[in-house]
Amino acid sequence: RSNNLQGYAPICLGLEDFYTRRLYLRIQDCFGRPIASAPDAWFNVVERYSNDNNKTLKRTSKLSRCLNLGSYNYLGFAAADEYCTPRAIESLKKYSPSTCSSRVDGGTTVLHNELEKCVADFVGKPAAIVFGMGYVTNSAILPVLIGKGGLIISDSLNHNSIVNGARGSGATVRVFQHNTPSHLEDLLREQIADGQPRTHRPWKKIIVIVEGIYSMEGELCKLPEIIAICKKYKVYTYLDEAHSIGAIGKTGRGVCELLGVDTADVDIMMGTFTKSFGSCGGYIAGSKELIEYLKYTCPAHLYATSISPPAAEQVISAIRVILGEDGSNRGAQKLARIRENSNFFRSELQKMGFEVLGDNDSPVMPIMLYNPAKIPAFSRECLKQNLAVVTVAFPATPLLLARARICISASHTKEDLVKGLEVIGQVGDLVGIKYFPAEPKKQ
């Protein structure tokens, strides 16, 4: 119990399931009510997203207009964009919201082919295949890429869609310590002798899976080191760029561009359209042979309805803006803005004494709460002051590493950021999460 939580007094209980031996977490208030069911702390219903970007109307007990510091709308394309939105509306009229068909049975429009070409060119690979959902891209592709007799070596903090895809593949899965190349190398050395050719070893195939920016950590992948190890041991690399594509790199081309990695060295590049491009869906980019193989074998391509045409058009248009092909320099401005906004917000939070994870330039900014019982207090108190933030805990993070995760957008104005900092500063004092001494304010 914590005195400064003003009556919340949340209690956190770890319960072990008798049969599965899994640990469950229950957070309850002092009256024994599970806090997850408290509608004012979680699962708020959004009434509308307003078109002055990134402000959200949320329904709590009453309607309130909130500054949104929790959405993945990194470049601000999700709210009515002067270039993308009219084009998405046109495609809605022309093709309807859904193709009502799979890609192979009439669900491939001109837009689908254009999107695949556009994505492949943008990420720097010969070909790409797109899917209607980012989550499915990982969970459905991995079982096609690898199976029994194969080995997946996965970063310990990879996203749940990767975890499920890896489990569903039937391959053996080993996990290396988060973003620790030396541990990856230890695991590989255990499995194969240095320098053996791809076929001469106990595994049919080995794939190493990492993320560009880790979604709960805001941390950049140590990609150059990891690629060097993968090349040394001649294993395949799979890079999930959900949070990095569009958001970082000089021209928005993600972690490879930022860290100077040649995309030819990454065998399978995965990403989603749900963040920087303000749309829906996901992609895999790779060699022509790989993509051709996936098109004929991946059940999620053969049996699922193709990505919605307006969603496809939104991505094509957003990429055009990023590349300046809309005839403006808005793309370059957005990229400069997200970097500036992210670095400003991160350093101000640190000056206030918060423990903030992640690297410079990353728009994902976890503020550590540690104690999961602090989550509802943090989120409610922010909402009371019209600030919408995302809080995350077990099982999305380890049990005692609960956090609030701020996502910064190019569409946040300086005033938005200053307001956000002010509210988080006050709530941080109330909840007791300023773990470092604050830097004295400059006069």
Which spans of this chain sit near ligand PMP (rule: CB under 6 A)?
133-135, 138, 159, 161, 211, 215, 240, 242-243, 272, 274, 282
The phi and psi torsions of 274 (rounded to 5 degrees) equal -90, 0
**Which tokens is 104 given?**
């192979």
Q: Which is nearer to ligand PMP, 215 or 391 (CB)?
A: 215
Least distance between ligand PMP and beta carbon 270 (Å): 8
Alpha-carbon gap, residue 322 to 119, rounded angstroms? 12
CB 344 within 8 A of CB 410: no
Q: Strand pairing of 127-131 and 172-176?
A: unpaired
Radius of gyration of the chain (CA): 22
Least distance between ligand PMP and beta carbon 138 (Å): 6
Closest-by-Cβ residue to ligand PMP is 134
Least distance between ligand PMP and beta carbon 73 (Å): 12
Q: Strand pairing of 387-388 and 63-68?
A: parallel
Least distance between ligand PMP and beta carbon 132 (Å): 9
Least distance between ligand PMP and beta carbon 4 (Å): 32
Alpha-carbon gap, residue 292 to 296, rounded angstroms? 7
Least distance between ligand PMP and beta carbon 204 (Å): 25
Q: Which is nearer to ligand PMP, 152 or 373 (CB)?
A: 152
Least distance between ligand PMP and beta carbon 239 (Å): 10
**Which tokens is 25 given?**
């977490």
Alpha-carbon gap, residue 282 to 273, rounded angstroms? 5
Q: Which is nearer to ligand PMP, 71 or 371 (CB)?
A: 71
Alpha-carbon gap, residue 382 to 424, rounded angstroms? 7
Q: Which is nearer to ligand PMP, 243 or 330 (CB)?
A: 243
Q: Which is nearer to ligand PMP, 142 or 322 (CB)?
A: 142
Tell me how many degrees the CA angle 366-282-396 measures, rounded to the nearest 5.
30
Least distance between ligand PMP and beta carbon 216 (Å): 8
Q: Which is nearer to ligand PMP, 146 or 255 (CB)?
A: 255
Least distance between ligand PMP and beta carbon 210 (Å): 10
Alpha-carbon gap, residue 89 to 313, rounded angstroms? 9
CA distance readout (Å), 81 to 84, 115, 331, 332, 443: 5, 19, 12, 15, 39
Alpha-carbon gap, residue 179 to 183, rounded angstroms? 9
The phi and psi torsions of 220 (rounded to 5 degrees) equal -80, 145
Q: Which is nearer to ligand PMP, 138 or 306 (CB)?
A: 138
Q: Which is nearer to ligand PMP, 73 or 161 (CB)?
A: 161
Q: Which is nearer to ligand PMP, 270 or 338 (CB)?
A: 270
Least distance between ligand PMP and beta carbon 273 (Å): 7
Q: Which is nearer to ligand PMP, 70 or 282 (CB)?
A: 282
Let me know how many helices (H) and strands (E) the chain has, helices first. Answer: 13, 16
DSSP, residue by residue, 140-175: HHHHHH--TT-EEEEETT--HHHHHHHHHH--EEEE
Q: Strand pairing of 402-407 and 390-392?
A: antiparallel
Q: What is the DSSP letter of 220?
A: B
On the CB side of 250, how many CA atoms lie within 13 Å of its CA?
3
